[in-house]
Amino acid sequence: MVSSGFCLFLLSACSVGPDFVRPQPPAVNRYNYGSDPKETVPVNGVAQRFDRGLGPIGNWWKLFNSKALDSAVTRGLADNPGLQAAQANLRQSQDNLRAGSGIFYPQLSATFAQNREKSAPIISGSSVPSRIFNLTTLSASVSYALDLFGGQRRAVESLSAQVDQERAITFGTYIILTGNIVNTCIAIGAYQAEIDEVERLIALEKDQTAIAEKQNRAGLTIYGSVLALRTQQETLEATLPPLRQKLIEAEHLLATLAGKTPAECPPTNIMLKDISLPRELPLSLPSELVRQRPDILAAEAQLHSASAEIGVATAALFPSITLNANYGKASLAMSELLDSKSTVWGIGGNVAVPLFNGGTRIFHRKAAIEAYQQSFALYRQTVLAAFAQVADIVRALEHDAEVTAAASRAVKDAELSMNLVEHNYHAGIANYLQVMVTDIQYRQAKITWLHAQARQLQDTTALFVALGGGWSNDLKANEKVIQHGQ
C-alpha cells in the first residue's frame, strides 16, 4: 500500500507545461554553397589557412602580435561602461533568480504588536458597556505553497533562462568590445600610414610643380602644364585634412572604448606595419557555432524562458494549495504575555480554485504560446543571420587576399620602375621629372596596398568575432575571461 506521504510527493513532483528542448542546428556542414575555401591565395608567399572544426581562442587578438594592440584591449576591458552595464545586468538577473528560488522554502515571519483599543460589544449584540484596554501580541507564522502543478518551478526556470540570456549578452558585449578595439587600432595604424604616404606624395608633387614652373619661365613648357600639375597637387592636399580628421575620430573612439574622454588619452603609437596578419584562421563547424555564439545563445535562452512561461500560465488554470500554521501569545497585560493562558495557535490550509475569470487565464496561456512562437522565429532568424555573416566573411577574406596580392605586386612593379628610372637618372639618360613621376606612381600603389592590407586585417578580426570570439562554455572560465581579459 502506497503511503499518503509518497502520494503527496508524486503530486508535488508533477509539472505542467512543455519541457524545453534545445533546438537542433541547421543540417548543414558548411557555410557557403558547394564548399568553404581551405586557404586564401598567398600574399608575399604567405596564405591564410582555414582550420575547419577549430574555434577561436579566448585571447584571439594576441595572434596579431602587436603589443600596442594588446595594451589597448587590456585598457578597454578594464573600464568600458558598456561592459560594466552588461555585467551589472547579469548580476541583477542572478539575484532575481535567487529571490525567485525562495518560493521553494517555507515562509516564516514573526510579529510583535502592542495596541490600545476601545471595544464596541454592541456590534456583536451585547449590551456590555464598551471599555478601553491594551492588547499585546507576539506571534510567529509559517506558510508553504504546495507547487502541485509546477507553476512556481516553471517561474524559477524562466528566471534561470533569463540569467543564461544575460550571461550570453554579457559575453556578446565583451566580444564586440574586443573586436571594436582591434578594428579601431587597425584603422589608426592604416590612417597614419596613409597620411605619411600622402605627405610624401604632396612633397613630390610640389617638386614637380616647381620644376614645371622653371621650365615655363625658360620657355620649355606651356603654362597649362604648370596649372595641371598645380591642380593635381592642390587636389592631393585637399585629401589630407579629411584623413587627419578620420585619424582623430579613431583616436577618440579608442578613448571612449576604454572608458575615457578624448582629453584624458594621448594619441596611441600604433603602426600598421607592427600588426601581423594571422596565418591560421579558425572555422567552427556549423553545429558548433550555434553552441558558442553569444547572440544565438541569448536567443535560445529567450526561447527557454518563453517555454517556461507557458508552464506558468498553464499552472494558473489549476487549483493552488497553501499550508499555514501560526503560534503566539496575546494578553491584555504585558506581564501576562508569557502565561500559558495567553497562548493562541492555528493550523490549516487554503485551496484556491479558479472558477470563472472571463477567460483571462486561458488567453494568458494562449498569449504565452504565441510569445514562444515569436521567440522561436527570432531564434531561427538569429541563426540564419549568423551563418550568413560567417559565410560572407570567409568569402571576403578569400577576395581580400586576392586584392592584397595584386596590390602587393603593383607596389613591387612600381618600386622596380622607380629604381630603374633612378639608375637612368644617375647615368644621365633620364631627367629628374621622370624620377618624380615614377616615385609618385610608387606612392600611389603603396596607398592602395595599405587599404587592402587594412581591410584584410579587419575582416580577419570580423571572423574571430563572428565565430563567437573563443569564449568557453565553462561558466567559471568565462567569468575569468571577462574579469581579466585573458
The yes-or-no verdict on residue 2 having pLDDT over 60 is no
Domains identified in the chain, total number? 2
Domain that holds residue 348: 106-146+319-353
Confidence (pLDDT) at 429? 85
Secondary structure (3-state) at 141? strand
* Same structural domain, 118 and 52: no
The share of the chain scoring above pLDDT 70, in percent, equals: 94
Q: Is residue 2 part of a domain?
A: no
Whichever domain contains 330, its CATH number is 2.20.200.10
CA of residue 314 relative to chain centroid, distance: 34
Confidence (pLDDT) at 408? 95
pLDDT, tens only, 245-285: 999 999 999 999 999 999 998 888 899 999 999 999 999 99
The yes-or-no verdict on residue 477 having pLDDT over 80 is no
* Same structural domain, 453 and 341: no
Q: Is residue 1 part of a domain?
A: no
* Same structural domain, 323 and 313: no
For residues 222 and 85, give the distance between their C-alpha atoms in angstroms, rounded to a whole number: 67
For residues 137 and 139, give the distance between their C-alpha atoms in angstroms, rounded to a whole number: 6
Confidence (pLDDT) at 124? 73
Query: What DSSP assignment string belongs to 221-244?
Result: S-HHHHHHHHHHHHHHHHTHHHHH
Confidence (pLDDT) at 481? 55
Q: Is residue 76 part of a domain?
A: yes
Q: Is residue 378 part of a domain?
A: yes
Q: Is residue 256 part of a domain?
A: yes
* Same structural domain, 56 and 98: yes
The yes-or-no verdict on residue 393 having pLDDT over 90 is yes
Strand ranges across the sheet with 107-118: 107-118, 132-146, 320-331, 343-352
The yes-or-no verdict on residue 484 having pLDDT over 60 is no
Q: Which residue has the higher pLDDT, 151 or 17?
A: 151
For residues 279 and 285, give the distance between their C-alpha atoms in angstroms, rounded to a whole number: 19
* Same structural domain, 169 and 241: yes
pLDDT, tens only, 26-79: 999 999 999 999 999 999 888 999 999 888 888 999 999 999 999 999 999 999
* Same structural domain, 40 and 135: no
The mean pLDDT of 339-361, rounded to a whole number, is 87
Confidence (pLDDT) at 472? 56
Q: Is residue 250 part of a domain?
A: yes
* Same structural domain, 99 and 193: yes
Residue whose C-alpha cell reads 606595419 in the numeric block: 273
Confidence (pLDDT) at 204? 85
Confidence (pLDDT) at 483? 55
* Same structural domain, 113 and 101: no
Q: Is residue 393 part of a domain?
A: yes
Confidence (pLDDT) at 8? 39
Per-residue CA distances from 290 to 226, 371, 386, 390 (Å): 63, 22, 9, 12
* Same structural domain, 216 and 141: no
Query: What DSSP assignment string belongs to 409-439?
Result: HHHHHHHHHHHHHHHHHHHTSS-HHHHHHHH
8 Å CB contact between 461 and 279? no
* Same structural domain, 60 and 175: yes
Nearest C-alpha neighbor of 32 from the set 374, 369, 350, 389: 389
Strands of 273-342, DSSP E: 280-283, 320-331
For residues 90 and 82, give the distance between their C-alpha atoms in angstroms, rounded to a whole number: 13
* Same structural domain, 239 and 163: yes
Which H/E stretch holds residue 399?
Answer: helix 360-427
Whichever domain contains 474, its CATH number is 1.20.1600.10
Confidence (pLDDT) at 9? 41
Confidence (pLDDT) at 44? 86
Q: Is residue 437 part of a domain?
A: yes
Q: Which range among 218-232, 340-354, 383-397 shows the weakest confidence by mean pLDDT? A: 218-232
* Same structural domain, 343 and 256: no
For residues 393 and 289, give the distance between their C-alpha atoms in angstroms, rounded to a whole number: 14
**CA torsion, ordered 64, 69, 70, 74, to nearest 10 deg:** -140
Q: What does residue 447 show for φ and ψ, rounded to 5 degrees?
A: -65, -40
pLDDT, tens only, 162-211: 999 999 999 999 999 999 999 999 999 999 999 999 999 898 888 888 88
8 Å CB contact between 281 and 466? no
pLDDT, tens only, 204-222: 888 888 888 888 888 877 8
8 Å CB contact between 167 and 32? no
For the stretch 102-109, contacts whose Cβ atoms lie closer than 8 Å and that sit 24 or more positions apart, written own/partner, are: 103/145, 103/147, 103/152, 103/155, 103/156, 104/147, 104/152, 104/156, 106/142, 106/143, 106/144, 107/142, 107/143, 107/144, 108/140, 108/141, 108/142, 109/140, 109/141, 109/142
The yes-or-no verdict on residue 294 having pLDDT over 90 is yes
The mean pLDDT of 105-111, rounded to a whole number, is 90
Confidence of residue 7 (pLDDT cuts 50, 70, 90): very low
Per-residue CA distances from 199 to 48, 237, 274 (Å): 32, 8, 21
The yes-or-no verdict on residue 333 having pLDDT over 90 is no
Work out the mean pLDDT of the chain and round it to a whole number: 88
The mean pLDDT of 299-307, rounded to a whole number, is 96
